[in-house]
Structure 1
Amino acid sequence: MDCLFCKIAEKEIPSDLIHEDEFVVAFKDINPQAPVHFLIVPKIHIKSLDQISKEDNALISHIFNLIPKLANELGIENGYRVVNNCGPDGGQTVDHIHFHVLGKREMLWPPG
């Protein structure tokens, strides 16, 4: 499979890893949009949010339980934003579900 995030999860491509467990990897974004900007990526390949199934509930729950833990460890104290881009019109550029976590600055709405 020629998936960038699968290759990062398998350590075929280097990343600035901040967390790894049996289900996910989390790493700093290479083009940060905030002072703290990291991605959480499941180790199994799921193309997008549209592709999750009931069998993925534990994985998605794991990711959302991990987000505040990592945000706290990285010193995000005043709130953060979690973003999932789904499909081309949603801005998804890598066809592997992932969640951006951005913090340490005030976020604007709508995001630009």
Structure 2
Amino acid sequence: MNEILSFADFGKGALDFFFERIGWAYFGERNWRQGDYIDELTIIDYVNEDFPPAFVTDGNTMTFTQDGLKLVDALENLGVDVTAAFYDESEAELVHEYQFIMTLEQSQMTFERFVEFLVRVAG
């Protein structure tokens, strides 16, 4: 199953309703799950050895963590320069876009790693 579609199935009424509306608003189609374009949303199907250096992170609660880790593996297997920042749930509960909550220790560590990444790849 496409990662976007699997993520959209929370199994919780209110969240499912909310995500359905997000998909509808984003794609402009009420039945967005049936669109031909949905398979194009999975970046891992389009990476190759020419992929640019990448910084990949996500939280660990209601996020795309497993998809991010698969992307990191795919990029590493292709020899692409990739830096990853993921944290175990036992360390902290981190939501999607956690990296913008700068009061979190993990956000600060991720920011430092991101700056190091930018300096290294962009000089």
- Give the structure-1-normalised TM-score: 0.28
| Greater relative CO (CA pairs within 8 A, separation 6+) | 1
Structure in which a larger fraction of residues adopt helix:
2
Scaled by the length of structure 2, the TM-score of the pair is 0.26
